[in-house]
Amino acid sequence: MEIRDDEHYGVESDIPKFVMVPNWVLEIRVNGQPLPPQAIHIYSVLMYHVNNETRKCFPAYTTLESMTGMSRSTIWKYLKILKDAGALTWERRAFKGFTTSNKYFLPHKPLKDVELFKQESYITEKEVAEDETSDSGFELDTIEDSGFGVSEEAGIQKKRTVTAPDAFMLKLQENMGYKPEGSEYARWNKVLNKIRSITDNPDDITLAFRNYPKYMPKKNTTFTLEALAKHFQALINYKDDTISSLERLENLKIKDNVIDV
């Protein structure tokens, strides 16, 4: 189907923007201790401004003060800690003799050899693969609950189950052409909850998809699931006004072979 822009229909995604902090920044150990939370906070603010391709950013001290709630001297203190730990570096800039904001560089990997904390309970990819192979997909192992002191006869047998996708999810997957993964699954479920409140028929999803470009005819309209859910009632009730006059006449009630108008 045609992908179009929905910006003029007041639809916005509920998925928030976020800042990513590399694992190794959290794993760095200085004299056996992790980086102070103030340093992680400042690093996160820099990541908020960083260019993902160049890994550089230029926030002024006033910006850092405003976003962290720290004083300039405190920010300088923890910037120095981050630099000594190899998490970042910077250089001073000037324009026509006037000092401007620093240029910060946040590398993908530490700039020096540093001590990193390693979690011993990490699960290897091989273990994950073996676990997935042994999973039947619906019913997993049985767990016996002794009932915290209750006799064995009174123990409760519990089974953990994985719920198969319902008809609505399957129909949405069919129309989207793929299955959701990770956080996108929660987004799809939110959309489906809205759709379920409007209809009991999963086939209405296909109808809504078919009518979407007709209902929103503006050129370059982007298709979004949020727009589909917002306009779902109108989409499934949409009638194409372009049908011919003959078709309109045929759809009128006919009584005694006479068109009733």
Q: Render 154-196 in DSSP notation, one character per residue.
A: G-EEEEEE-PPP-HHHHHHHHHHTS---THHHHHHHHHHHHHH
Report the pLDDT value the prediction gives residue 99, as an integer from 0 to 100.
79
Same domain, 254 and 187: yes
Say if residues 57 and 104 touch (Cβ distance below 8 Å). Answer: yes
Same domain, 108 and 174: no
Which residues lie closer than 8 Å to 90 by C-beta, 6 or more apart?
A: 79, 83, 102, 103, 104, 105
Residue 4 lies in a domain: no
Residues 30, 84: Cα–Cα separation, whole Å: 9
Say if residues 115 and 28 touch (Cβ distance below 8 Å). Answer: yes
Domain edge (last residue) among 89, 116, 143: 116
Report the pLDDT value the prediction gives residue 137, as an integer from 0 to 100.
47
Say if residues 195 and 229 touch (Cβ distance below 8 Å). Answer: yes
Domain edge (last residue) among 80, 100, 116: 116
Per-residue model confidence as pLDDT tens for the chain (261 residues)? 445 454 444 455 566 788 889 999 999 998 889 999 999 999 999 999 999 899 999 999 999 999 999 999 999 999 999 999 999 999 998 876 777 889 999 999 999 887 887 665 444 555 555 555 554 444 444 445 444 554 554 444 444 444 567 899 999 999 888 888 877 888 899 999 999 999 999 999 999 998 888 887 665 567 788 888 999 999 999 886 655 555 555 555 444 454 444
Query: Both tokens of residue 131?
Result: 């676990």
Same domain, 96 and 175: no
Residue 134 lies in a domain: no
Q: Taking the model in full, what pTM does it have?
A: 0.43
Place of tokens 């401007």: 100
How many Cβ atoms sit within 10 Å of the Cβ of residue 228?
21
Residue 50 lies in a domain: yes
Report the pLDDT value the prediction gives residue 24, as an integer from 0 to 100.
92
Same domain, 174 and 257: yes
User: What domain range is 70 assigned to?
Assistant: 23-116
Give me the CATH number covering residue 41: 1.10.10.10
Integer CA distances (angstroms), 250 to 156, 176, 256, in order = 65, 35, 14
Query: Both tokens of residue 184?
Result: 């996108």
Residue 128 lies in a domain: no
Report the pLDDT value the prediction gives residue 115, as an integer from 0 to 100.
82
Q: How many domains in the chain?
A: 2
Report the pLDDT value the prediction gives residue 217, as an integer from 0 to 100.
67
Same domain, 173 and 252: yes
Residue 80 lies in a domain: yes
Measured at the alpha carbon of residue 162, what is the angle toward residues 208 and 127, in degrees to the nearest 5?
Answer: 120
Residue 61 lies in a domain: yes
Residue 170 lies in a domain: yes
Residue 91 lies in a domain: yes
